[in-house]
Structures are given as structure tokens and as C-alpha cells.
Amino acid sequence: MSGAVLITGGAGFVGTNLAARLLSSGRKVLLFDNLARAGVEKNLHWLRTTFGDALRVQIGDTRDAQALRDAVSEASEVYHFAAQVAVTSSLEDPLADFDVNLRGTLNLLEAVRHSAHRPSLVFTSTNKVYGALDDVELEATETRYRPVEPRLRVTGVSEHRPLDFHSPYGCSKGAADQYILDYTRSFGLDAVVLRMSCIYGQHQFGNEDQGWVAHFLIRALERRPITIYGDGKQVRDILFVEDLVDALLQCQTRMPTLSGRAFNIGGGPSHTVSLMELLDRIAKLLGRQPTVSYADWRVGDQRYYVSDTHAFTSATGWHARVSVGDGLAQLCEWLRTQRGDTETPMPRTHAA
């Protein structure tokens, strides 16, 4: 399987969408996944059923250095998504979070460094590397927070923002982010880091700790209550997964000019939504109001985070194409199909 694309965490939400795009274009794909996350078996079954022998799967854990070396030996490109993904889980078990997110990444870097052909690497980091952004002065409107500083309101948070890891999850992902950048300096590896905001779309089985857009939709479809931590005015820029896949592929295509850099990736200021606003959009999609309860703020929760994506756009020409309204409608339709839902869907909106 020489020349395959290796995707760690490949049966997860982002990995499945990337694998499908690559396989559809005729590329061979090797998925490396320990199948620990709920829902990934469904994704893996769908990929195998849809693409057959073009897909190869290695059930393994990134904490197993030898298994990673074996996988890397067959790869021409690597996408590293395997991770512990929840702040809450990292607070409950910091050692496991460290082992998966940092030791697992270091195992992969060493596998790439010592391989005969050194495949290029794209890593998905997180906006949590910038911390809680407590120094950003905010004002509250009826439905959302927004920065007092006009320029930040227009552009979002750029890569010039100082790193400020919060929570064990922020530390482990942030350290992995920095290790990858340093391996490009110290050992000459080709690698790009994407610091991601909130990604959503098909093949996402979101829960309360991660994948909140899908989680809200799933709970609403099931007519189960949604818990809001804080006041619901928290703002995020959200990015539809197909737009993220475009960005990931651009990283590999333009690796010679992008290697050694970290970029913020999200929907940007034109694709923002607060939790309260998302609930309103869901109500319009479903034709009924979701049931909501409120609880205390969680550790490290950012009241406002919006990505400034100008650096990546300038380097590649990429920009988010799918509007918030269209993306939510597509995710809702996919979730209904998964559930066998017979409710008549509301008309798709083209609102941004």
C-alpha cells in the first residue's frame, strides 16, 4: 500500500469526511483508529461499504509506537486527528489526556522522523491554545457577547495572539502543536498545524463535551433537554466540515510553502453564532422550540472566540463557502436520515 494517505483517528468525524473525499478522488487511504469514540463504528462501516478495497483499516492506538511506525512506513501523507477531545475528560483524567494527546503525537513525530521517506504531516490543533481570553473586554447584546475593540470584532483572533494553555486538554494539545512546529525546525519535517474552531457536519456524533452543534441538534431531534453552561451568549465561529476538508487538502498541496506554520481555521467573523442564536436556528429548522436548562460556567470556557483566517486565506486562497444556515440544514438532514426520522423537514434556508 505504498503511497497511501494515513489518517490517525480516521474513523472519527473529520477523518471520515476527509477519507471519503480522498477515496472518491481515487486515492488509497489507511485509517488508523482505536475505535474508542462512540459512533465511529458506524462511520467505519459506511466507509467500508461505500469504498471497499480502496480503504484499509489498522485498529491501533497512537500510544503504541511500533504500530504507528508500521502505519507510517506505508504513507506518503499523514493527517493526525487521533486525540482525547474533551476539556471535561482532561480534568477527570489528566494522565490519560497527556498520554493520548502529547505522547501519542510524539510517537507519530518520531515515526515520521525515522521513516525512510518522511511523509508530510497535517495536525489539527485547537483554539484552546489561546486560553480563556479573559483579557478581551466584551459587551453583551441581547443574544451574544462581542468584543469592545472594533478591530477584533471585525477580524477575530489571529495567530499573533500569545499562547496561554488552559486546562489539561489545552496543555496537551498546545504542547503537541508546539512539538510539531519544532520538529519542522529541529529535524526538517514537513508539517502544518491548523488551530481549529468549531467544526460541524455529517458523520458527527456530537456530545455535551465535544461537537456541540451536532449535540444540540441531536438532543432537539430526540426531544430531549439541552443544557447550556453559562448564559448562552457565548460566541463561536463555526465551520462546515467540507470547508475544513478543503483546507486540509490545501495544506498538503501547498506543503513546501506552508510547512512550519500554524494557522487559525474556522468560519471567521461571517460564520458566527451564539448558543442562544443556534437554539433559535434549530427551532426554525424543526418547527418547534428545543427544551433548555441552564447550569454553571465550565472551566476554561471562552465567552468569545472567532478565528481570524486571513493568514491561511492569503497563503492558499481558501475561504469558507458553506453558510451557517445551509450547513445546519445539511447536518439536520443527515441526522434525520440516520435516525430514520419521518418528520417533514423545514425548507432549507440560505441565510448566512
Best CA proximity match to 87, nearest among 48, 132, 149, 119:
132
The per-residue b/e assignment along 137-157, b for 16 or more CB within 10 angstroms, e otherwise, is ebeeeeebbbbeeeebeebbb
pLDDT confidence of residue 48: 97
> The dihedral of CA 204, 210, 211, 215: what is its sign?
positive
Indicate if the pLDDT at residue 216 is higher than 80.
Answer: yes
Residue 187 amino acid letter: F
Determine which of 181-195, 224-238, 304-318, 330-344 has the lowest per-residue pLDDT on average: 330-344
Q: Check: CB of residue 221 under 8 Å from CB of residue 336.
A: yes
Indicate if the pLDDT at residue 347 is higher than 60.
Answer: no
In a domain, 347, yes or no: no
pLDDT confidence of residue 341: 67
Catalytic residues: 169
**Is pTM beyond 0.75 here?**
yes
CATH number at residue 246: 3.40.50.720
Query: In angstroms, rounded to a whole number, what is the distance separating the alpha carbons of residues 212 and 25?
Result: 30
Indicate if the pLDDT at residue 2 is higher than 60.
Answer: no
Residue 154 amino acid letter: V
pLDDT confidence of residue 130: 95
Helix (H) or strand (E) holding 179: helix 167-186
In a domain, 309, yes or no: yes
SS3 231: coil
pLDDT confidence of residue 313: 98
In a domain, 155, yes or no: yes
Condensed to tens digits (0 to 9), the pLDDT of residues 224-249 reads: 999 999 999 999 999 999 999 999 99
Condensed to tens digits (0 to 9), the pLDDT of residues 58-105 reads: 999 999 999 999 999 999 999 999 999 888 899 999 999 999 999 999
Q: Check: CB of residue 277 under 8 Å from CB of residue 49.
A: no
Helix (H) or strand (E) holding 124: strand 120-126
Condensed to tens digits (0 to 9), the pLDDT of residues 119-157 reads: 999 999 999 999 989 999 999 999 999 999 999 999 999
pLDDT confidence of residue 298: 83
Number of domains in the chain: 1
Query: In angstroms, rounded to a whole number, what is the distance separating the alpha carbons of residues 252 and 209?
Result: 30
pLDDT confidence of residue 302: 86
In a domain, 349, yes or no: no
- β-strand partners of 4: 75
Best CA proximity match to 145, nearest among 310, 349, 333, 304:
304
Q: Check: CB of residue 205 under 8 Å from CB of residue 331.
A: no
Distance of CA 140 to the CA centre of its chain: 27
In a domain, 320, yes or no: yes
Mean pLDDT of 266-278: 97
In a domain, 348, yes or no: no
pLDDT confidence of residue 206: 80
pLDDT confidence of residue 1: 41
For the chain, the 3-state helix, strand and coil shares in percent, each to the nearest 5, are 45, 20, 35
Indicate if the pLDDT at residue 346 is higher than 50.
Answer: no
Query: In angstroms, rounded to a whole number, what is the distance separating the alpha carbons of residues 319 and 79?
Result: 20
In a domain, 346, yes or no: no
Domain holding 263, by residue range, is 4-339
In a domain, 11, yes or no: yes
